[in-house]
Copies of this chain bind each other. A is one copy, B any other.
Amino acid sequence: MDLSQHPAVRRSVLGALQEDVGRGDVTTRVALEPGLQGSAVMLAEADCVVAGVFLVSLAYECCDPRLDVEVLVSDGAAVAPGTAVARMRGPVASVLTGERVALNFVQHLSGVATLTRQFVEAVHGTSAAIVDTRKTVPGLRLLEKHAVHLGGGMNHRFGLDDGILIKNTHVALGGGTAAVVARARREAPLGLRVQVECRSRAEVEAALAAGADAVLLDNQTVDEVRALVRLVAGRVPVEVSGGITLESVRGYAETGVDRISVGALTHSAPAVPLHLRVETVA
Protein backbone atom coordinates (compact mmCIF):
# COMPACT_ATOMS: atom_id res chain seq x y z
CA MET A 1 0.00 0.00 0.00
CA ASP A 2 1.87 3.06 -1.14
CA LEU A 3 1.10 6.46 0.28
CA SER A 4 -1.41 7.39 -2.39
CA GLN A 5 -3.53 4.40 -1.30
CA HIS A 6 -3.15 5.04 2.42
CA PRO A 7 -6.51 5.83 4.03
CA ALA A 8 -5.01 8.56 6.21
CA VAL A 9 -3.61 10.29 3.14
CA ARG A 10 -6.87 9.98 1.23
CA ARG A 11 -8.79 11.37 4.20
CA SER A 12 -6.33 14.23 4.34
CA VAL A 13 -6.80 15.08 0.68
CA LEU A 14 -10.56 14.81 0.88
CA GLY A 15 -10.58 16.92 4.04
CA ALA A 16 -8.50 19.60 2.36
CA LEU A 17 -10.85 19.68 -0.60
CA GLN A 18 -13.86 19.96 1.67
CA GLU A 19 -12.37 22.83 3.65
CA ASP A 20 -11.42 24.73 0.50
CA VAL A 21 -14.23 23.97 -1.91
CA GLY A 22 -16.97 23.90 0.70
CA ARG A 23 -20.31 23.97 -1.08
CA GLY A 24 -18.71 24.76 -4.42
CA ASP A 25 -16.37 27.07 -6.33
CA VAL A 26 -18.79 29.91 -6.99
CA THR A 27 -16.40 32.07 -8.95
CA THR A 28 -15.40 29.42 -11.43
CA ARG A 29 -18.98 28.27 -11.86
CA VAL A 30 -20.20 31.71 -12.86
CA ALA A 31 -17.09 32.54 -14.92
CA LEU A 32 -16.49 29.49 -17.09
CA GLU A 33 -18.50 27.41 -19.51
CA PRO A 34 -18.82 24.00 -17.88
CA GLY A 35 -17.62 22.19 -20.98
CA LEU A 36 -14.41 24.18 -21.50
CA GLN A 37 -11.40 21.86 -21.96
CA GLY A 38 -7.74 22.72 -21.65
CA SER A 39 -4.43 22.05 -19.99
CA ALA A 40 -2.39 23.64 -17.23
CA VAL A 41 1.00 23.15 -15.61
CA MET A 42 2.16 23.50 -12.04
CA LEU A 43 5.47 25.34 -11.91
CA ALA A 44 8.09 25.69 -9.21
CA GLU A 45 9.16 29.28 -8.55
CA ALA A 46 12.36 28.52 -6.64
CA ASP A 47 15.15 25.98 -6.30
CA CYS A 48 13.71 23.19 -4.24
CA VAL A 49 13.32 19.49 -3.60
CA VAL A 50 9.83 18.65 -4.84
CA ALA A 51 7.80 16.40 -2.52
CA GLY A 52 4.29 15.09 -2.67
CA VAL A 53 3.62 15.46 -6.40
CA PHE A 54 1.46 12.32 -6.32
CA LEU A 55 -0.96 14.39 -4.24
CA VAL A 56 -1.63 16.55 -7.27
CA SER A 57 -3.02 13.45 -8.97
CA LEU A 58 -4.90 12.41 -5.89
CA ALA A 59 -6.43 15.83 -5.23
CA TYR A 60 -7.55 16.30 -8.82
CA GLU A 61 -8.89 12.75 -9.02
CA CYS A 62 -11.11 13.47 -6.01
CA CYS A 63 -12.11 16.82 -7.49
CA ASP A 64 -13.00 15.56 -10.96
CA PRO A 65 -12.16 12.03 -12.17
CA ARG A 66 -12.27 13.22 -15.80
CA LEU A 67 -9.06 15.19 -15.30
CA ASP A 68 -5.85 13.60 -16.53
CA VAL A 69 -2.84 14.47 -14.38
CA GLU A 70 0.67 13.74 -15.55
CA VAL A 71 3.41 14.01 -12.98
CA LEU A 72 6.50 15.42 -14.69
CA VAL A 73 9.22 15.00 -12.07
CA SER A 74 10.00 12.16 -9.68
CA ASP A 75 9.06 12.73 -6.10
CA GLY A 76 12.20 13.99 -4.41
CA ALA A 77 13.74 15.58 -7.48
CA ALA A 78 15.73 18.80 -7.03
CA VAL A 79 14.39 21.31 -9.52
CA ALA A 80 15.16 24.84 -10.68
CA PRO A 81 12.72 27.77 -10.83
CA GLY A 82 10.37 27.44 -13.76
CA THR A 83 10.34 23.67 -13.77
CA ALA A 84 6.95 22.15 -14.56
CA VAL A 85 6.18 19.50 -11.96
CA ALA A 86 2.77 18.34 -13.18
CA ARG A 87 0.41 18.87 -16.10
CA MET A 88 -3.38 18.68 -15.93
CA ARG A 89 -5.65 18.13 -18.92
CA GLY A 90 -9.43 18.14 -18.99
CA PRO A 91 -12.24 20.39 -17.79
CA VAL A 92 -10.64 23.75 -17.05
CA ALA A 93 -13.20 24.60 -14.38
CA SER A 94 -12.03 21.61 -12.35
CA VAL A 95 -8.39 22.57 -12.84
CA LEU A 96 -9.14 25.92 -11.23
CA THR A 97 -11.29 24.49 -8.46
CA GLY A 98 -8.66 22.02 -7.26
CA GLU A 99 -5.68 24.28 -7.81
CA ARG A 100 -5.27 25.68 -4.30
CA VAL A 101 -5.51 22.31 -2.54
CA ALA A 102 -2.96 20.73 -4.87
CA LEU A 103 -0.61 23.67 -4.41
CA ASN A 104 -1.02 23.76 -0.64
CA PHE A 105 0.13 20.15 -0.32
CA VAL A 106 3.10 20.45 -2.65
CA GLN A 107 4.32 23.81 -1.35
CA HIS A 108 4.35 22.56 2.25
CA LEU A 109 5.89 19.15 1.63
CA SER A 110 8.48 20.54 -0.77
CA GLY A 111 9.33 23.02 1.96
CA VAL A 112 10.00 20.13 4.35
CA ALA A 113 12.07 18.21 1.81
CA THR A 114 14.05 21.28 0.83
CA LEU A 115 14.92 22.22 4.41
CA THR A 116 15.90 18.60 5.10
CA ARG A 117 18.20 18.62 2.08
CA GLN A 118 19.88 21.77 3.45
CA PHE A 119 20.55 20.06 6.78
CA VAL A 120 21.79 16.94 5.03
CA GLU A 121 24.19 18.96 2.93
CA ALA A 122 25.40 20.84 5.98
CA VAL A 123 26.63 17.58 7.55
CA HIS A 124 28.02 16.14 4.32
CA GLY A 125 31.13 14.10 4.86
CA THR A 126 30.44 13.34 8.52
CA SER A 127 28.94 10.14 9.88
CA ALA A 128 25.82 11.92 11.10
CA ALA A 129 22.38 11.29 9.64
CA ILE A 130 19.64 13.93 9.81
CA VAL A 131 16.56 12.56 11.54
CA ASP A 132 13.02 13.87 11.96
CA THR A 133 10.90 14.06 15.13
CA ARG A 134 7.24 13.81 16.19
CA LYS A 135 7.04 17.64 16.12
CA THR A 136 4.92 17.59 12.98
CA VAL A 137 1.94 19.61 11.79
CA PRO A 138 -1.22 17.85 13.05
CA GLY A 139 -2.70 15.56 10.42
CA LEU A 140 0.28 15.49 8.07
CA ARG A 141 2.79 13.23 9.80
CA LEU A 142 2.91 10.43 7.23
CA LEU A 143 3.37 12.92 4.43
CA GLU A 144 5.93 15.05 6.25
CA LYS A 145 7.99 11.96 7.15
CA HIS A 146 7.86 11.00 3.49
CA ALA A 147 9.14 14.47 2.59
CA VAL A 148 12.00 14.17 5.09
CA HIS A 149 12.95 10.85 3.47
CA LEU A 150 12.90 12.47 0.02
CA GLY A 151 15.14 15.23 1.31
CA GLY A 152 17.71 12.66 2.39
CA GLY A 153 16.81 12.44 6.07
CA MET A 154 16.04 9.33 8.12
CA ASN A 155 12.77 8.72 9.89
CA HIS A 156 12.60 8.39 13.62
CA ARG A 157 9.46 6.99 15.24
CA PHE A 158 6.20 7.64 13.39
CA GLY A 159 4.35 7.58 16.70
CA LEU A 160 4.31 6.41 20.27
CA ASP A 161 3.90 2.81 19.19
CA ASP A 162 6.76 2.10 16.82
CA GLY A 163 9.73 2.67 19.06
CA ILE A 164 10.50 3.12 22.72
CA LEU A 165 12.07 6.37 23.83
CA ILE A 166 12.55 6.56 27.56
CA LYS A 167 12.80 10.21 28.47
CA ASN A 168 14.00 11.75 31.74
CA THR A 169 10.46 11.97 33.00
CA HIS A 170 9.87 8.28 32.37
CA VAL A 171 13.05 7.42 34.26
CA ALA A 172 12.19 9.72 37.13
CA LEU A 173 8.62 8.49 37.51
CA GLY A 174 9.35 4.88 36.69
CA GLY A 175 11.94 3.96 39.28
CA GLY A 176 15.20 4.57 37.49
CA THR A 177 16.83 3.64 34.23
CA ALA A 178 17.51 0.00 35.04
CA ALA A 179 13.96 -0.72 36.13
CA VAL A 180 12.31 1.02 33.20
CA VAL A 181 14.54 -0.51 30.56
CA ALA A 182 14.02 -3.94 32.07
CA ARG A 183 10.25 -3.53 31.96
CA ALA A 184 10.46 -2.33 28.37
CA ARG A 185 12.36 -5.48 27.38
CA ARG A 186 9.90 -7.70 29.20
CA GLU A 187 6.53 -6.15 28.38
CA ALA A 188 6.75 -4.13 25.19
CA PRO A 189 5.92 -5.58 21.78
CA LEU A 190 8.89 -7.61 20.63
CA GLY A 191 9.75 -5.64 17.51
CA LEU A 192 10.69 -2.38 19.23
CA ARG A 193 14.10 -1.05 20.16
CA VAL A 194 14.72 0.81 23.42
CA GLN A 195 16.33 4.23 23.30
CA VAL A 196 17.12 6.21 26.46
CA GLU A 197 17.42 9.98 26.78
CA CYS A 198 20.56 11.00 28.70
CA ARG A 199 21.86 14.32 29.95
CA SER A 200 25.08 13.29 31.69
CA ARG A 201 27.89 10.75 31.82
CA ALA A 202 26.12 8.95 34.66
CA GLU A 203 22.90 8.67 32.70
CA VAL A 204 24.68 7.33 29.64
CA GLU A 205 26.43 4.73 31.75
CA ALA A 206 23.15 3.71 33.38
CA ALA A 207 21.46 3.38 29.98
CA LEU A 208 24.23 1.22 28.57
CA ALA A 209 24.32 -0.94 31.67
CA ALA A 210 20.55 -1.41 31.49
CA GLY A 211 20.81 -2.66 27.92
CA ALA A 212 19.57 0.32 25.91
CA ASP A 213 19.69 -0.12 22.14
CA ALA A 214 20.47 3.57 21.57
CA VAL A 215 20.92 6.80 23.51
CA LEU A 216 19.59 10.30 22.91
CA LEU A 217 21.58 13.27 24.15
CA ASP A 218 19.15 16.15 24.54
CA ASN A 219 20.13 19.81 24.90
CA GLN A 220 23.88 19.23 25.26
CA THR A 221 26.68 21.45 24.01
CA VAL A 222 28.92 20.30 21.23
CA ASP A 223 31.71 19.63 23.74
CA GLU A 224 29.47 17.60 26.02
CA VAL A 225 28.30 15.59 23.05
CA ARG A 226 31.85 14.91 21.92
CA ALA A 227 32.77 13.55 25.34
CA LEU A 228 29.71 11.34 25.56
CA VAL A 229 30.22 9.98 22.06
CA ARG A 230 33.67 8.95 23.18
CA LEU A 231 32.20 7.30 26.28
CA VAL A 232 29.70 5.27 24.25
CA ALA A 233 32.49 4.25 21.89
CA GLY A 234 30.28 2.77 19.23
CA ARG A 235 28.49 0.29 21.47
CA VAL A 236 25.10 1.74 20.49
CA PRO A 237 24.02 4.54 18.14
CA VAL A 238 24.13 8.03 19.63
CA GLU A 239 21.57 10.69 18.71
CA VAL A 240 21.56 14.38 19.62
CA SER A 241 18.65 16.78 19.69
CA GLY A 242 17.55 20.16 21.03
CA GLY A 243 17.20 23.32 19.01
CA ILE A 244 19.86 22.46 16.46
CA THR A 245 19.94 24.88 13.53
CA LEU A 246 21.49 25.05 10.08
CA GLU A 247 24.22 27.12 11.72
CA SER A 248 24.99 24.77 14.59
CA VAL A 249 24.39 21.40 12.95
CA ARG A 250 27.85 20.87 11.49
CA GLY A 251 29.50 21.33 14.87
CA TYR A 252 27.36 18.55 16.27
CA ALA A 253 27.94 16.35 13.24
CA GLU A 254 31.68 16.55 13.68
CA THR A 255 31.52 15.12 17.19
CA GLY A 256 31.00 11.69 15.67
CA VAL A 257 27.32 11.30 16.62
CA ASP A 258 25.29 8.92 14.52
CA ARG A 259 22.10 10.94 14.20
CA ILE A 260 20.94 14.49 14.68
CA SER A 261 17.21 15.00 15.10
CA VAL A 262 15.71 18.34 14.10
CA GLY A 263 12.14 19.36 14.90
CA ALA A 264 12.30 22.33 12.55
CA LEU A 265 12.36 20.04 9.52
CA THR A 266 8.66 19.54 9.95
CA HIS A 267 7.36 22.31 12.21
CA SER A 268 9.08 25.33 10.73
CA ALA A 269 9.91 24.69 7.10
CA PRO A 270 8.87 27.67 4.96
CA ALA A 271 6.64 26.80 1.99
CA VAL A 272 8.19 26.55 -1.45
CA PRO A 273 6.51 28.93 -3.91
CA LEU A 274 4.71 27.27 -6.82
CA HIS A 275 1.89 28.33 -9.06
CA LEU A 276 -0.40 27.02 -11.75
CA ARG A 277 -0.58 28.31 -15.28
CA VAL A 278 -3.38 27.56 -17.72
CA GLU A 279 -1.66 26.71 -21.00
CA THR A 280 -4.20 26.01 -23.66
CA VAL A 281 -7.93 26.10 -23.91
CA ALA A 282 -9.95 24.37 -26.58
Q: Which residues of A contact B (CB under 8 A)?
A: 1-3, 5-8, 11-32, 34, 36, 62-65, 92, 94, 96-98, 100-101, 103-105, 107-108, 111, 131, 134-142, 154-167, 169-174, 180, 183-184, 187-193, 195, 213-214, 237, 243, 259, 263-264, 267-268, 270-271, 273, 278, 281
Contact = CB atoms under 8 A, between A and B. Distances in A.
B20 A160 contact: yes
Given A7-B18, A131-B190, A154-B190, 5 more contacts: A1-B97, A19-B142, A27-B167, A32-B173, A104-B137
28 contacts: A5-B64, A15-B138, A19-B158, A22-B158, A22-B161, A22-B162, A24-B161, A26-B160, A26-B161, A26-B184, A27-B160, A27-B165, A29-B187, A30-B164, A31-B173, A31-B174, A32-B173, A104-B135, A104-B136, A108-B267, A155-B189, A156-B191, A157-B191, A190-B237, A191-B195, A192-B193, A268-B270, A270-B270
Given A101-B138, A135-B271, A138-B16, A27 B166 contact: yes
A12 B169 CA distance: 28
Nearest to A107: B267
B26 A1 contact: no
Highest count of chain B CB atoms <10 Å: which of A135, A160, A161, A187: A160
A101 to B, nearest CB: 7
A22 B103 CA distance: 24
Contacts of A24: 1, 3, 6, 160-161
Contact of A19 (B159, B195, B271): B159
B155 A259 contact: no
A64 B4 CA distance: 9
A159 B101 CA distance: 11
B192 A26 contact: yes
Highest count of chain B CB atoms <10 Å: which of A3, A28, A101, A172: A28
Given A1-B64, A31-B174, A169 B136 contact: no
Nearest to A18: B7
B173 A92 contact: yes
Contacts of A165: 27, 191
